[in-house]
Structure 1
Amino acid sequence: MILNKLYFILPLILLVNSCTEGNTSSAVVDGDVETLAAVDTTGLAQATFASGCFWCTEAYFERVEGVKAVISGYAGGEKPNPTYEEVSAGATDYAEVVQVYYDPEEVSYQELVEVFFATHDPTTLNRQGPDIGAQYRSIAFYRNPEQEAIIRTYIQQLEESGAYKNDIVTEVQPFERFWEAEAYHQDYYRRNPNDPYVVSVARPKVQKFEANYQDKLKPEYVQ
């Protein structure tokens, strides 16, 4: 179990930058974008989480040993074919999510749930740092009763341990459908290192994750 909480409160000065205000108009788009169709996910297990801006969430899980692919997208809503413009404007019921493809022989679903809770604040309703709105709400999606039990048990453990001053507001929902986000969102953190949001918000959080959880990282991220 991850005992140390990663999430920390950013200085107020960082509130000027949000995921919605990122440099999407000039985002790097090149030939190495790994969309869902381009990734061989045969035989891999899946997990889906919403924990704020998917640019950050994707970067965390990409670093975890045993995770083979992470795709940014949308889930938790009903409208077919949602777009980033609709979701980021709060015009749908969707949340920004990541779809994690992993080898369960290398990393367990339990460990992914622990990473999920360690990398965001599950006590803030419809908000993560400078990102405000239901599209940034905390959701753990489950695909079977076993996954649901793991999520609910871990939430109970966190609450009983007093890890958080406030109540956990993370939604626990059955997974229904994932819509892949536009190509320029995929691997956004790596491919847009100079984006103001990446520099001021995402990078400090990702670097702290790397520093605190060396035992969970792929070799290339171990310091």
Structure 2
Amino acid sequence: MTANHKIATLAGGCFWCLEAVFEQIDGVESVVSGYCGGHVDHPDYAAVCTGRTGHAEAVQLTFDPARCSYRTLLEVFFAIHDPTTRDRQGNDVGSQYRSAIFYHTDEQRQVAKAHVAEFENLGLWCGPIVTELLPAPRFFTAEAYHQQYFRRNSEQGYCQVVVSPKLAKLRKRFTSLIKANQ
């Protein structure tokens, strides 16, 4: 990471979905799937899936704010998941699937807070936004088989039913943000 790059950490359901979407965005240099926000050091997937570690499945993005702003990342984030369901995204249920923005700087906190308030005022969803806004704790990288999961397993059932529609939504709504080689 260079001085011109920033980090964003987001949780919004299964990290496979978030990773597949954000790696398509121009200006996003890397996407790492992992665990964030819990109380256990070095959790693994099996432990996180129990819901007892307190971690959320999350992605940590390294991005170039000159090419893609933090606000733009948040716009995509809110467009591809339901921020009104507590501890759930579709059939994925449990605290590990909660919606959260883990901010790394006070500027990120302010941008996220303003963005949530703006969306609340617009009434884009039927219910209130329950996305947590928290200081970024330690991020634990998920096991290797979770990294670039969709790219390696796009024909798998979950990927077809859950991840592919999110990518279709990205391509339809945010065409101008997609990397040229995607």
Partner of 1:143: 104
Counterpart pick for 2:60 among 86, 95, 99: 99
How many Å apart are 1:88 and its aligned residue?
1.4
Amino acid at match of 1:64: I
TM-score, normalised with respect to structure 1: 0.79
The reply to whether residue 194 of structure 1 matches residue 155 of structure 2 is yes
How many Å apart are 1:211 and its aligned residue?
2.0
The worse-fitting range, judged by mean Cα deviation, of 92-101 and 188-197 is 188-197
Structure 1: runs of 5+ lacking an equivalent: 1-40
Where 1:220 maps in the other structure, the secondary structure is coil
Structure 2: runs of 5+ lacking an equivalent: none
Query: 1:91 & 1:145 partners in 2: Cα distance?
Result: 29
Query: 1:148 & 1:204 partners in 2: Cα distance?
Result: 29
Amino acid at match of 2:143: E
Cα deviations across residues 58-81 of structure 1 (Å, max 9, x unaligned)?
011101110000000000012100
Query: 2:26 & 2:161 partners in 1: Cα distance?
Result: 26
The worse-fitting range, judged by mean Cα deviation, of 148-157 and 86-95 is 86-95
Q: Map of 1:42-57 to 2, 5 A cutoff?
A: 42-43=2-3, 44-57=5-18
Query: 1:165 & 1:131 partners in 2: Cα distance?
Result: 20
Query: 2:169 & 2:109 partners in 1: Cα distance?
Result: 28
Query: 2:141 & 2:53 partners in 1: Cα distance?
Result: 15
Which structure has greater strand proportion?
A: 2
Partner of 1:68: 29
The alignment-based identity, stated in percent, is 46
Amino acid at match of 2:46: E
The reply to whether residue 215 of structure 1 matches residue 176 of structure 2 is yes
Amino acid at match of 1:92: T
Query: 1:72 & 1:123 partners in 2: Cα distance?
Result: 22
Counterpart pick for 1:165 among 114, 120, 126: 126
Return structure 1 stretches of 4+ with deviation > 4 angstroms.
none
TM-score, normalised with respect to structure 2: 0.96
Contact 2:12 2:81 survives alignment (8 Å):
yes
Partner of 2:39: 78
Query: 1:126 & 1:218 partners in 2: Cα distance?
Result: 31
Where 1:205 maps in the other structure, the secondary structure is helix
Where 1:197 maps in the other structure, the secondary structure is helix
The worse-fitting range, judged by mean Cα deviation, of 206-215 and 169-178 is 206-215
Query: 1:160 & 1:208 partners in 2: Cα distance?
Result: 23
Query: 2:162 & 2:80 partners in 1: Cα distance?
Result: 13
**Paired residue total:** 181
How many Å apart are 1:89 and its aligned residue?
2.1
Rg larger for: 1
Query: 1:214 & 1:82 partners in 2: Cα distance?
Result: 36
